[in-house]
Amino acid sequence: MDINKLIYIVVDALENVKGQDIRVYDTFGKTSAFERAVLVSGTSNRQTKALASSVAKSVKEARGKVRGIEGTETGEWVLVDCGSVVVHCMQPTIRHYYNLEELYGPESLDVEAIKAQFAPASDEDASA
């Protein structure tokens, strides 16, 4: 699956469960384990678990692979391994403490531009 299509699916799944502060980082060349890292905040253990579950379900429905999900026991930090994309669903205090943005940064990718590539055309777009 195209990496940007996979990012679109992941971000859409996170937005559907009201994920906050979604950031996507290009990790190509920084690690051989994956090409993109997605960070998202959830307001509770229940929400971080729901975010991870939504990602896994959406990726599988799109015929993508989910290699594993870790951290569902506590829900403070749930990681979804989608192969070339790794999704970190974290509570804000955990996210701040581990500061993965510094590790993956300094610049996150333009999520809106990626979404625009794959978003279905609206009725307004079709009539223009």
Residue 94, strand partner residues: none
Residue 103 lies in a domain: yes
Residue 124 lies in a domain: no
One digit per residue, pLDDT tens: the chain, 128 residues? 899 999 999 999 999 999 999 999 999 878 778 999 999 999 999 999 999 999 999 999 999 999 999 999 999 999 999 999 999 999 999 999 999 999 888 889 998 988 888 877 665 554 44
Contact 52, 78 (CB under 8 A): yes
The CATH number linked to 41 is 3.30.460.10
Residue 127 lies in a domain: no
Residue 11 lies in a domain: yes
Q: How many domains does the chain have?
A: 1
Q: What is the pLDDT of residue 6?
A: 96
- Residue-number span of the structural domain to which 88 is assigned: 3-113
Is the pTM value of this prediction over 0.75?
yes
Residue 128 lies in a domain: no
Residue 119 lies in a domain: no
How many CB atoms sit inside 10 A of residue 97's CB?
A: 10
